[in-house]
Amino acid sequence: MIFPIDTDLVLIALTTAALFTILYLIIVLLSLRMGQLGRTKISFTHNPSSISLKTKDGFDTTLARICQDSTPPCRLNPLLFNGHLQTMWTAIKDDGPLLHYKRKIFESAGCPFPGTFAVDFVVNESMDEEDESLPPRTTYFSKEALEHVGSLDNRPMLVALHGVSGGSSEVYLKHVLAPLVGADGERRWEACVVNSRGCAMHKITSEFTFNARSTWDLRQAVLWLRKTFPNRPLFGVGCSLGANLLINVSASEPSLTSVLSSTSIWVRKAMRAFLRPPSSSRIHGAWMSATRS
């Protein structure tokens, strides 16, 4: 059966679409001219009593104020208008900063679920060799290199935790690490990524993998870092599920907190499901930071 086409309705639809397109282009052009395209508001959530610090010039400030002052404006692509599109775009765009890692395998200790996990350390030198069993630009430490990996330097060191099913090769994580490990002179940081069990192409060696309360591998890694690099102040950053893990560590691991007594723990994109009704857009669009003295 052939249905008649109402040419008037088709014309109205095409005209409406054309008008909306023209209006959108006008808004885009005006926004470009005014420098407002994609600009969005940044909010900070932190303890009311943020850590007090002094600048090199002797002025009093707080950790929260430093973070606010050092955070650049956020300008999003107007075509990627929600968190889902932004996440999908990171999966198809470029691979992000070209960081190189050396991997150390840890045998679990003091854990109710025996197994192994991998920690990837950012190294400055590029590597010609490749290991097809590992993510790109990642190779294992040699036995000789591990024997001399310790250091007495006092560079700050960042301990990073990825999101669910992620790893050290995630684009978002490399964008966090790259400016710090790529800084010049005394401003350069050291960094490592604690990969959750079974992630970052590390084989599963236990019947239990991980969740936001699996603090034991992070605890073991941090204690090893403190022993191996005794003079380095340790900082932590977590993305998504990794942020929840850091929150749990700060709340439920007093022994680990004592090791990290001088550490400020920054938590990115922590889930706010306990603060709002569950919604995927709210969970993955939320930002939270936490500081601990």
**CATH assignment at residue 219:** 3.40.50
Least confident of 124-133, 162-171, 213-222, 265-274: 265-274
Strands 74-75 and 190-194: unpaired
- Which residue has 């109402």 as its token pair? 6
* Pair (135, 271) in one structural domain: yes
Residue 178 pLDDT grade (very low, low, confident, very high; cuts 50, 70, 90): very high
Phi, psi at 21, each rounded to 5°: -65, -45
Residue 4 pLDDT grade (very low, low, confident, very high; cuts 50, 70, 90): low
Q: Report the domain count for the chain.
A: 3
Asked if residue 292 has pLDDT above 60, the reply is no
* Pair (256, 152) in one structural domain: yes
For residue 18, give its domain range.
7-37
- pLDDT computed for residue 192 by the predictor: 95
CA distance 168 to 166: 7
293 within some domain: no
* Pair (61, 167) in one structural domain: no
* Pair (137, 196) in one structural domain: yes
Segment 77-103, tens digit of pLDDT: 777 767 777 777 777 777 888 899 999
Q: Specify whether the CB–CB gap between 199 and 206 falls below 8 A.
A: no
Q: How far apart are the first and last CA of the chain?
A: 75
Least confident of 13-22, 195-204, 241-250, 273-282: 273-282
The pTM assigned to this predicted structure is 0.70
CA distance 206 to 16: 59
* Pair (162, 249) in one structural domain: yes
Strands 265-268 and 234-239: parallel
R_g of the chain computed on alpha carbons:
23
* Pair (107, 92) in one structural domain: yes
100 within some domain: yes
Single-letter amino acid code for the residue at 97: P
* Pair (228, 147) in one structural domain: yes
- pLDDT computed for residue 78 by the predictor: 72
Strand runs (DSSP E) across 190-276, as ranges? 190-194, 234-239, 265-268
* Pair (57, 175) in one structural domain: no
Residue 234 pLDDT grade (very low, low, confident, very high; cuts 50, 70, 90): confident
* Pair (179, 69) in one structural domain: no
User: Is the pLDDT higher at 51 or at 35?
Assistant: 51
* Pair (33, 69) in one structural domain: no
* Pair (133, 168) in one structural domain: yes
SS3 76: coil
